[in-house]
Chain A
């Protein structure tokens, strides 16, 4: 149980375009989902926390207009990187936990390359 999927697993896009990444909890209802960014050989950096049906809470330094997060249902959150630039290239990972649960279950990650 407690499986989180991400789609796509890998995406290449041109500079200036927008990219949407989906995060789904497959066998549980995720009241809270988290979006992380990971640079090579580095730890995960929390970007934002989203609760179903409400606005995401962004960490300091993360541009909310650039990284749009939608958590429209208890099993789906999306991260849209708007007007992507090469410096947005990174590994994006989502995680989710159920109501009252502290354990986070992570998706397999999405590798974004912006040309």
Chain B
């Protein structure tokens, strides 16, 4: 069975400190993996995507993610959090025409 697991439902960091949002996947196929961000009452915005071209993927707003096949992980990181990063983040997997959403991680930023 294919699945995408976001390990933390809520992450809180101080402004200016690093951000780590964790995502693990399981798939019989090599998946395409995405991170999306959703601000309150808004749609989802694509942050970055992995499609096997490079394991370290750089996205918008300073975010990046590294695909680690040995760990079946695709964690999202940012070196320095900004107040505007507070939002819900979704890890999404796509393989064999199936799209699978993680349960989401709410990121809070402390001043």
Q: Which residues of A contact B (CB under 8 A)?
A: 4, 6, 34, 41-44, 46, 91, 93, 95, 102-109, 111
Contacting residue for A43 out of B46, B49, B90, CB 8 A: B90
Tell me the smallest distance from the CB of B35 to a CB of chain A, in Å. 12
Tell me the smallest distance from the CB of B15 to a CB of chain A, in Å. 23
**Residues of chain A with a CB closer than 8 A to B41's CB:** 91, 109, 111
> How many A-B contacts are there with CB distance less than 8 Å?
46
Q: Are B94 and A102 neighbours in the complex by a CB distance under 8 Å?
A: yes
4 smallest A-B Cβ distances: which pairs? A106-B44, A108-B43, A106-B43, A102-B32
Nearest CB to that of A109 among chain B residues?
B43
Q: Are B99 and A34 neighbours in the complex by a CB distance under 8 Å?
A: yes
Q: Are B99 and A104 neighbours in the complex by a CB distance under 8 Å?
A: yes
Chain A's interface: helix, strand, loop or mixed, by majority? Answer: strand
Give the number of chain B interface residues (Cβ < 8 Å): 20
Tell me the smallest distance from the CB of A32 to a CB of chain B, in Å. 9
B51 part of interface (Cβ distance < 8 Å): yes
Q: Are B103 and A43 neighbours in the complex by a CB distance under 8 Å?
A: yes
Q: Are B46 and A44 neighbours in the complex by a CB distance under 8 Å?
A: no
Q: Are B45 and A43 neighbours in the complex by a CB distance under 8 Å?
A: no
B34 part of interface (Cβ distance < 8 Å): yes
Tell me the smallest distance from the CB of B102 to a CB of chain A, in Å. 7
Known: A4-B43, A44-B90, A108-B43. 14 other contacts (CB 8 A): A34-B99, A42-B104, A43-B101, A43-B102, A43-B103, A93-B44, A102-B51, A102-B94, A103-B34, A103-B46, A106-B43, A106-B46, A108-B42, A109-B42
Tell me the smallest distance from the CB of B54 to a CB of chain A, in Å. 16
